[in-house]
Structure 1
């Protein structure tokens, strides 16, 4: 079983990062996507602590101090540079391929937020466009074994309640994922539930954090849950999202194969 968790760490300062790391290490997720990372000491503490716990980390700090995304994995990984080539903000879109059976590629995303200022809207639009283009270039088989996850900073067209201010290109990103046969895991397992991962100061809920899986992986999804404990404990301002896929690390799969004698 492959357990994946995505959590926005809200560019944690050192004290909060220490508590976040404790929470993360109390769990046994195989793979963690950290969004809204920074170049500061809090993110360094998180990534150093995850490495010390035996996890490999993919993270590209931004030279201009922009927020980013990191992937930490207990399963051996290899880089997936062909997927991320051409993405406008590469520090916000790490990608790795897991040593699983079958191979699973993970694309983590921290989509820029926007207060509707023209420059911020342009930055967000360019990022979403180049991410969509990158996924479109993949072969159908590679997309079928792709997991995309993180903080997309968009809501769906049918989000309840409806909120004004989101632009068509923001809704179109989720449409593009569906067109590429990348399926919203939580919505598939909980079709009648409006989940929220970020709660505004006035109590309004938004679903910004997602995990999408390719066509070959959707049938393997066995669970998906929004975890509000880190938000309620003020470790971050987002709920975490976790999902389990019935996918096996290659080393385990090989041991299972060799352990069963052939019957002739």
Structure 2
């Protein structure tokens, strides 16, 4: 789509939504959403919803270098977000972005796959490392399993290498927790090992921390079963978790096929 057409569509959507007010000082509002590579009309709706979410950190997964993705990226930039794109994002494969507003960000070297992107954000002269991840989809074939296993191994090694005391990882990670309800036989031991490997690195599952006994799902399929695929993990030093919940509005309004995962942290408060 030509740039002038993108801008025309962009500003048409912003007129329909109130500007997102800034979070309180010291408040980190994170929204992770698989946007399902939208075409331009759906991208317009997605952008409006993201701005209305009042988040200052957005982790967006399942993008491709399409007109819809470019509209969202340019729209966020027009609203004051810094958008970090991974190297190789324009190559045609899926990629992830991390967008922040009100906190300076510095890109961090990624693992060499545009599915993952990392930034350091500044708060009171301290850094929080934020990583967005779109894990390989479970295709329920031997080849799919082999690809996921190799990616998960490489990513855990990468995460170990760039680990920081204040670290947050979010996105459609495409694994479920051990003991997931309902049980899902399509996931394998290496998928559960990836989830527990994140915990061994000191990253706590924010949703499970906020809701120890709740079984909720971010992607619903009559054929493959309801699954909690979208996650947010954070080290205790990142801040105090105030809330973490799935917002099903994007899914039920058909903006995408995933629920958004939204969380609020108070930075520099006792963890």
TM-score after normalising by structure 1 = 0.86
CA contact (8 A) 1:88 1:127 kept: no
CA contact (8 A) 1:97 1:103 kept: yes
CA contact (8 A) 2:138 2:187 kept: no
CA contact (8 A) 2:58 2:99 kept: yes
CA contact (8 A) 2:59 2:171 kept: yes
CA distance in 2, matches of 1:33, 1:178: 20
Who is 1:94 aligned against?
A: 117
Ranges of 4+ aligned residues in structure 1 off by more than 6 Å: none
Q: SS of the counterpart of 1:158? A: coil
Give CA-to-partner distance per residue, 1:149-193, whole Å, 9 cap, x none.
000111111101101121111111111011111000110111011
CA distance in 1, matches of 2:106, 2:200: 27
Q: SS of the counterpart of 1:111? A: coil
Q: Would you say 1:227 and 2:255 are equivalent positions?
A: no
Does 2-11 or 52-61 show the bigger shift?
Answer: 52-61
CA contact (8 A) 2:65 2:91 kept: no
CA distance in 2, matches of 1:121, 1:12: 27
Q: Would you say 1:2 and 2:28 are equivalent positions?
A: yes
TM-score after normalising by structure 2 = 0.84
Q: SS of the counterpart of 1:103? A: strand
| Residue correspondences, number | 239
RMSD: 1.6
Displacement of 1:116 = 2.7
Who is 2:200 aligned against?
A: 179
1:194 to 215, 225, 232: 215
CA contact (8 A) 1:88 1:126 kept: no
Matching of residues 50-129 of structure 1 within 5 Å: 50-60=76-86, 61-62=88-89, 64-74=91-101, 75-81=103-109, 84=110, 87-89=111-113, 91-101=114-124, 102-129=126-153
User: Structure 1: which 5+ residue stretches go unaligned?
Assistant: 249-264
CA distance in 2, matches of 1:98, 1:62: 21
CA distance in 1, matches of 2:161, 2:96: 22
Who is 2:260 aligned against?
A: 240
1:208 to 229, 252, 263: 229
Q: SS of the counterpart of 2:38? A: coil
User: Structure 2: which 5+ residue stretches go unaligned?
Assistant: 1-26
CA distance in 1, matches of 2:209, 2:116: 24
Q: SS of the counterpart of 1:32? A: strand
CA distance in 1, matches of 2:65, 2:141: 24
- Of structures 1 and 2, the one scoring higher in RCO (CA 8 A, sep 6+) is 1
Who is 1:254 aligned against?
A: none
